Amino acid sequence: MTHTANPGAARIESNDRVRGGTLRSVEVGPARARVSPLDGGQTLRLALLLALPVIGVEQLVHTDRPTLAALPLYQALHWLSDTLLALPLAAVAVWGGQRLATRLRLGERTPPAIVGRACLIALLFALVLVPGTALHDAADRLTHVHVLFPTHSHVPLPSRAAPDGVTTLARFVTHALSDGFVGQVVGLPLMILMLAWEGRKPRPEDGAAPAKKEA
Amino acid sequence: MSTRRTFLQLGAAVGAGALVRWQLDPTGGLLFNASRVFASVQTPQTPLPGGGVRQFVEALPTFVGRRVDDSFIEVGMVAFQQATLPDRLYAGLPAPFNAGTYVWGYQVGDDTRPSWPGTTIEAQRGRATTIKYVNSLPLNPVLRTYLTIDQTIHWADPLRQMGSVSPYTGPIPTVVHLHGAEDPSAFDGAPEAWFTPDGRHGKGYSTLFATDRNAAVYHYHNDQQATTLWFHDHSLGMTRINVFSGLAAFYFIRDQFDTGEHDNSLRLPAGNQEVELLIQDRQFDTNGQLLFPDSAANPSLVDGPPGNPGVHPFWIPEFFGDVVVVNGRSWPYLDVEPRRYRFRIVNASNARFLRMGLADSTSGAVGPPIWQIGTDGGLLDRPVKLLGLPEQPATDPSPTTRLFLAPAERADVILDFRGLFGASLTLTNDAQVPFPSGSPLAASDPTRSVMQFRVNLPLSSQDTTYHPAGGAPLRGGPNQEPIIVRLADPASGQPAPGVEPSVTRQLVLFEAEGPTGQPLEDLINNTKWRGTRDRAGNPPDVPVPGSKPDQFGQGLWMTELPRVGSTEVWEFLNLTVDAHPIHIHLIQFQLINRQAVAIDPNTGAPTYTAAYASRFPGGAYAGVRPDGSWGLVNYPPGMIIPGYGPPTDYSKPNADGALGGNPAFSPFLLGPIIPPNPNEGGWKDTVKVFPGFVNRFVIRWAPQATPVGGVQPGQNLFSFDPTTGPGYVVHCHILDHEDNEMMRPYLPTL
């Protein structure tokens, strides 16, 4: 995890046991820290602004128009609850995307760098939404939110042939991933805008090292 | 910002999300119920207390002199506004409500205006009537915004949204059933034969000849005896809404005796003295608009909000209103002369039973008797005197002194107002809701009154009409219909001599309930409309053993396949707590008797129920789980599986030799057989099936007039082929039950 108490010399701890095998610390200088914005508040802000539209798009995709029109307050609350429940996943995507971008030496102010960062975050969010979909379905089952839709078989449901587990899993992952990417139609542009906005903000270290050109 | 704080914030967000989600739970979440109040398709409504509506201030609308008797008639289904409540109430409302209540109704013929109920049709026996029914309802009718159409019940579903939690917002499906008619199933108004204003059709759709996409042409042979029929909507899962909205009207069959003219050979009152009364209960809002309960915001007056919102979010088990409406007008009055009048009455309520008498409006004293001269299928042999005496609320089919009508039952009655000039008489009602398990009506309950007769018109001519107190026969004499062909002897409560039923069926009425004890659905022989065991689609549903698929492509499985020309006895054992008016299409039948079954003093349920349950083998089938959600449930052996069908093969006779797949009834019978009440001893198409009783019908698939022994199994004496088409149905005529699975298809066979 990240400690940013000393912005001038961030101390990054990693528990990456694949390469190092043991907990190790990496000291980075001010310039490295500046392109690795791992501030918790910022992460949460970005995560919320990522989750809200992406979850909203997914809800729109999966809800027929009459249903949306029928119970608008219910739909809004559903959107809110899904967004809040997905916030940790979005935070992971933001944090992970930023960290990956830093490792890839992407800056945070030039348009290509911002787009690259945003793409990484969007990609990560789409990926984490795959297990997120399973969690979402579990939450729905627990709270019966969709119980009326798929299981009430007064409706002549089509018979479900029982495919093998691998096929079922593959279908689920494909579906969830596709949903995740669809959501990024809105999430990605917003993330680009947000990163550009965040990149324009003056940083504490900007006073010490103004106008330093990115590599 | 610290990592700890970030985690705390994330945790708080997840907690808040979980809390919101928890309270969105449709099985009881506060936010779910709150959000439904703001449902955009519903119009917020404030109930108008029925007790605050003035009674007897508007005249009864009648159809005297306006009935339509053409041989080809176009009947449109249209939306319009009609003054139903007192005029003064509308006068105080803003536009558009001051123009009346939004309703749907029939426009019968070219020369009439649409009305609720529609203008009466008069058909002549032996002369066919062809009717083009046209669904001309708007695609987005105003009234639909007041009606929450639940799509989780098995219904017509024009937009293929069945199962959706959303109220339906598409074109309204309709189809017309001529109730009590002997007619081909293609023109019987099969539930799947619906059609919409924009031309969508159900799988059972039929028409005499090609017509507009939003229409169907039906051809009625009118071969049966003169009687009081009525036509009403019958679309699958939508009947309660469409009839509630006004789609109902009378259809008289006349013959050479009962002509409707003053000089009729029966000397029955005619002209201004023959009046139809279509009685219903309704609920209204403070804008004078219909209110159909659907939620915690608009709960049912008797049952409260929907009892199983996790399964059926808007469906209520029975609609009971607090305003009585006769011929589309609340608590009307009728000015009458001091003479005899003939009233053709139908209880067209969704669920309310009516037990009626006459009382002096001022003193409350018991008024003159009601003389019943006819039932669903025609005249009785002799009139039956109903004293109208107040009775203790009946919990069983005890003889009644009152005119007791379940939904869809009709009565042909004579009221004798002679010698009562200056009096006002109230037609009263004291049937508990629901019947009989509900509490007696409170003294202040506005539904204790139905309408008022004011004997204030001067006698226009001497009354020489038939005098029922004289007891003269109505049938069997010169210039009269022959006496009723007796399939059952109403005096002994046994099948009539010479009647040899070829098949006996024993069928069980059962109510499936959710975990809170609220009704989920009622079932005939524990079988749903489709006739399949519901396994939530995985593995595929399987047909009830002993059933056969319908040949019309409706996806239905039929268990009742009687041979045309045959005579059968159908025994209904009602295991629910309320009476169900069972209606069988195509034929008029007769009630043989009723007989109580033993009751378990510990549970209050028939002892049969435990024996019945013990036959179920257990297994995983769709149902309501303990938490109120719908899905696969593992039923242990010995537990009734709702929708499973009977516990054993339908087609294998039980120890009583009866089909139906149920344990024999006879070991559980207790007490004597109870013959039909005197006013039930005629032709019936709808009979009250009382709880805790075996109710026995004798049914013959042949025209009414066929003498006993005059037809053999396999012989078709109808003037049409009843073995083809989408088929007929048997169902409970509590419309809210009929719409939610308490209906089964059937088809006579060769």
Interval B568-596: pLDDT, tens: 999 999 999 999 999 999 999 999 999 99
How far is residue B562's CA from residue B749's CA, in Å, rounded to a whole number?
Answer: 6
Using only the alpha carbons of chain A, give its radius of gyration.
Answer: 21
Mean pLDDT within B610-616: 97
Q: DSSP labels for B42-55?
A: SPP--EE-GGGSPS
B8 touches chain A (CB under 8 A): no
d(CA B69, CA B67) in angstroms, rounded, equals 6
pLDDT computed for residue A173 by the predictor:
80
Most B CBs within 10 A among A89, A99, A136, A143, hence the mutation to make, goes to: A143
CA distances from B646 to A204, B270, B482, B661 (A): 78, 49, 41, 5
| The pLDDT of residue B742 is above 90 | yes
Distant-in-sequence, close-in-space partners of A193: CB < 8 Å, separation ≥ 6: none
pLDDT at residue A127 greater than cutoff 80: yes
Contact at CB, B163 and A149, closer than 8 angstroms: yes
Calculate what percentage of chain A has a pLDDT beyond 70. 58
**Interface mutation vs chain B, best among A152, A159, A160, most B CBs within 10 Å:** A152
Q: Do B26 and A148 touch (CB under 8 A)?
A: yes
In whole angstroms, what separates CA B153 from the centre of its chain?
17
Give the per-residue pLDDT at B423. Answer: 98
Q: pLDDT-based confidence at A89, cuts 50/70/90?
A: very high
Q: A211 CB contacts (<8 Å, ≥6 apart)?
A: none
Q: At which residue do the structure tokens 């348009």 appear?
A: A111
pLDDT for A183 equals 83
Cβ within 8 Å, pair A81-B538: no
| Per-residue pLDDT, A21 | 36
pLDDT value of residue B273? 98
Instruction: Provide the shortest C-alpha distance from residue A68 to chain B (in Å).
Output: 8
Can you read off the two tokens belonging to residue A96?
């992970």
Instruction: State the amino acid at position B189 in one-letter form.
Output: G
Walk me through the domains of chain B, giving residue ranges and CATH numbers: 47-258 (2.60.40.420), 323-488 (2.60.40.420), 496-746 (2.60.40.420)
pLDDT at B500 over 50: yes
Of B26, B38, B169, the CB nearest to A144: B26
- Chain A CB contacts of B528 under 8 Å are 154
Give the minimum alpha-carbon distance from A87 to chain B in angstroms, rounded to a whole number: 7
Across the interface, whether the CB atoms of A88 and B161 are under 8 A apart is answered no
Res A168: pLDDT = 66
Helix (H) or strand (E) holding B489: strand B488-489
DSSP tag of A10:
-
What are the tens digits of pLDDT across the range A26-74? Answer: 333 333 434 344 578 888 889 998 999 999 988 887 765 655 666 678 7
Burial of A69 (0-12, 13-18, 19+ CB in 10 A): middle
Confidence of residue A138 (pLDDT cuts 50, 70, 90): confident
Range from A151-165, B131-145, B338-352, B397-411 carrying the lowest mean pLDDT: A151-165
Cβ atoms of residues B447 and B50 within 8 Å: yes
% of residues, chain B, pLDDT over 70: 97
Q: Report whether pLDDT(A76) > 70.
A: yes
Mean of the per-residue pLDDT values for chain A? 68
Cα-Cα-Cα-Cα dihedral sign, residues A45, A51, A54, A57: negative
Q: Hey, are the CB atoms on A39 and B1 less than 8 Å from each other?
A: yes
pLDDT at residue B541, rounded to an integer: 78
The total number of residues shown for chain A amounts to: 215
Average pLDDT over residues B457-462: 97
Q: How far apart are CA B248 and CA B134, in angstroms?
A: 14
| DSSP 3-state of A59 | helix
User: Poorest-confidence range of A120-134, B39-53, B132-146, B172-186?
Assistant: B39-53
Measured between CB atoms, which of A64, A70, A151 is closest to B41?
Answer: A70
B31 to chain A, closest Cα gap in Å: 8
- Pull the structure tokens for residue B566: 């045959």
Query: Residue A151 pLDDT more than 50?
Result: no
A&B contacts, CB < 8 Å? 180
Query: Bigger pLDDT: B336 or B515?
Result: B336
How high is the mean pLDDT of chain B? 94
pLDDT at position B178: 98
Given phi > 0 = left and psi -120 to 50 = alpha, else beta, which region is B139?
alpha
Measured between beta carbons, which residues in chain A are less than 8 angstroms from residue B41?
Answer: 69-70
B375 pLDDT more than 80: yes
For chain A, report the end-to-end CA distance as a whole number of angstroms: 26
Nearest CA in chain A to B10: A88
Across the interface, of B14, B537, B629, the residue whose CB is closest to A87 is: B14
| Helix, strand, coil percentages in chain A from 3-state DSSP, rounded to 5 | 65, 5, 30
- B619 CB-near residues (< 8 Å, 6+ apart): B634, B635, B641
To the nearest whole angstrom, how far is the Cα of A55 from the nearest Cα of chain B? 13
Average pLDDT over residues B382-402: 83
Q: What is the pLDDT of residue A22?
A: 37
CA atoms within 13 A on the CB side of B415: 31
Q: 3-state SS of B319-366?
A: CCCCEEEECCEECCEEEECCCEEEEEEEECCCCCCEEEEEEECCCCCE
**Residue B325 β-bridge partners:** B280, B330
Residue of A43, A144, A146 to mutate when probing chain B, most B C-beta within 10 A? A144
pLDDT per position as a tens digit, B516-568: 888 999 999 999 999 999 887 666 778 999 999 999 999 999 999 999 999 99
pLDDT tens profile B312-331: 889 999 999 999 999 999 99
Which pLDDT value is given to residue A214?
40
Q: Is the backbone of residue B364 left (phi > 0), alpha (psi -120 to 50) or beta?
A: left
Report the C-alpha gap between B580 and B406 in whole angstroms.
Answer: 8
pLDDT in tens, B234-257: 999 999 999 999 999 999 999 999
Chain B contact set for A149 (CB, 8 A):
163-165
Residue B606: pLDDT above 90?
yes
Question: According to the model, what pLDDT value does residue A149 have?
Answer: 37
Question: Vertex A117, ends A112 and A121: CA angle to 5°?
Answer: 145
**Residues of B with CB below 8 A from A150's CB?**
163
Instruction: State the average pLDDT over residues B152-168.
Output: 89
Mean pLDDT along residues B630-646: 93
CB B467 within 8 A of CB B342: no
- The answer to whether B308 and A154 have CB atoms below 8 angstroms apart is no
pLDDT category at A19 given cuts 50, 70, 90 is very low
Q: Could you tell me which chain A residue has the CA closest to the CA of B22?
A: A143
B36 vs B273, more confident: B273
Q: Do the bridges between strand B340-347 and strand B274-282 make them parallel or antiparallel, or are there none, so unpaired?
A: parallel
Query: Using an 8 Å Cβ cutoff, are B90 and B83 in contact?
Result: yes
Q: What is the pLDDT confidence band of residue B338, given thresholds at 50, 70 and 90? A: very high
**Higher-pLDDT residue of B719, B37:** B719
* Predicted pLDDT at A165: 61
Higher pLDDT, B695 or B303: B695
In 3-state terms, what secondary structure has residue B212? coil
Residue contact B1–A87, C-beta within 8 A: no
Q: Would you say the ipTM is above 0.85?
A: no
Residue of B nearest to A85 (CA): B14
B34 touches chain A (CB under 8 A): yes
Contact B545, A157 (CB under 8 A): no
Residue B480 DSSP SS3:
coil
Q: List B residues 493-552 in contact with A (Cβ-Cβ < 8 A).
A: 528, 530, 534-541
B20: its two tokens: 């919101």
Is there a contact between A34 and A205 (Cβ–Cβ < 8 Å)? Answer: yes
If you average pLDDT over residues A181-185, what whole number do you get?
A: 84
pLDDT tens digits along B643-701: 999 999 999 999 999 999 999 999 999 989 999 999 999 999 999 999 999 999 999 99
Q: How far is B193 from chain A (nearest CA, A)?
A: 18
Residues of chain B with C-beta less than 8 angstroms from the C-beta of A151: 536, 622, 629-631
Q: Is the pLDDT of residue A209 over 60?
A: no
Domain positions in chain A are: 1-34, 38-147+163-205
pLDDT value at residue B625: 79
* pLDDT of B217 over the 80 cut: yes
pLDDT at A190 > cutoff 60: yes
